C-alpha cells in the first residue's frame, strides 16, 4: 500500500499525464477526457479498451516458447491503467506522448493461447525498470515491448 501511495504522489515523468483512479468511473472519466483532449475533431467519445487475456491457468502453466502471430496496432497516445495493491480499488493511469501500442496474439508450444498488449516506446521510462536490466539496454535506445499483466487495461480512441 505504501508503494501505491508513493507512485500516486510522485511527479509525472517528462511527457506523461497521470492520475490515480479510485473507481472504475474515475478511470473511464480520466481516459475519456485525456483521449478527447488529444484530438479536437474526434468522432467517437467513448474510448475502447484492450487487456491481456490468457486461455490457460497461469499458475500451473510452465514457462515456454511462444510463437507471435500478426499484431494489430491499437494507436498512439494510449492511456494505460495499472491495478495497484491497496485496501480498495486503485488504478495508476497514465498517458505518455507518442507511445505506440499493439495487441499481440501468441501461441505456446503446448497450445496455450494468449492475447497481450504491449507498447514499444521506452524513452521516458525509469532507467531502473526491470526490462532494461534484463535486456542490457538504456531507455530510448531500442524499442522494448512491455506486456501488461492481466488486471491492467490500455485505452485508445475508437477508430
Full-model pTM:
0.71
Query: For the purposes of burial, counting CB atoms within 10 Å of the CB of 87, is it exposed (0-12), middle (13-18) or buried (19 or more)?
Result: exposed
Are the C-beta atoms of 125 and 141 separated by less than 8 Å? no
Show me where the domains of the chain are located.
Answer: 2-156
How many Å apart are CA 154 and CA 52, to the nearest integer? 9
CB atoms within 10 A of CB 112: 17
Q: Which ranges in 20-127 belong to alpha helices (H)? A: 24-38
- pLDDT value, residue 52: 64
- pLDDT value, residue 3: 86
Rounded (5°) CA angle 50-52-56:
140
- pLDDT value, residue 156: 79
How many Å apart are CA 146 and CA 123, to the nearest integer? 13
Per-residue tens of pLDDT for the chain, all 159 residues:
888 888 888 888 777 789 999 998 999 899 888 887 755 434 444 566 666 666 666 566 677 888 988 788 877 777 889 899 888 999 999 886 666 778 888 888 888 888 877 767 777 777 877 788 888 999 888 877 777 777 888 887 765
- pLDDT value, residue 134: 87
Q: Which three cell numbers stand for residue 80?
A: 494505460
Amino acid at each position: 500500500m505504501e508503494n501505491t501511495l508513493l507512485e500516486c504522489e510522485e511527479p509525472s515523468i517528462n511527457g506523461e499525464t497521470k492520475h490515480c483512479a479510485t473507481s472504475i468511473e474515475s478511470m473511464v472519466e480520466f481516459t475519456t477526457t485525456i483521449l478527447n483532449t488529444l484530438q479536437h475533431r474526434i468522432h467517437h467519445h467513448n474510448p475502447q479498451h484492450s487487456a491481456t487475456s490468457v486461455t490457460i491457468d497461469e499458475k500451473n502453466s510452465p514457462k515456454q516458447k511462444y510463437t507471435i502471430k500478426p499484431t494489430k496496432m491499437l494507436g498512439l497516445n494510449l492511456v494505460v491503467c495499472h491495478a495497484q495493491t491497496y485496501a480498495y480499488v486503485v488504478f495508476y493511469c497514465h498517458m505518455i506522448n507518442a507511445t505506440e501500442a499493439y495487441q499481440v496474439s501468441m501461441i505456446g508450444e503446448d497450445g496455450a493461447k494468449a492475447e497481450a498488449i504491449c507498447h514499444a516506446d521506452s524513452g521516458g521510462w525509469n532507467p531502473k525498470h526491470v526490462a532494461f536490466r534484463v535486456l542490457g539496454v538504456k531507455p530510448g535506445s531500442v524499442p522494448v515491448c512491455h506486456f501488461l499483466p492481466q488486471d491492467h487495461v490500455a485505452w485508445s480512441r475508437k477508430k
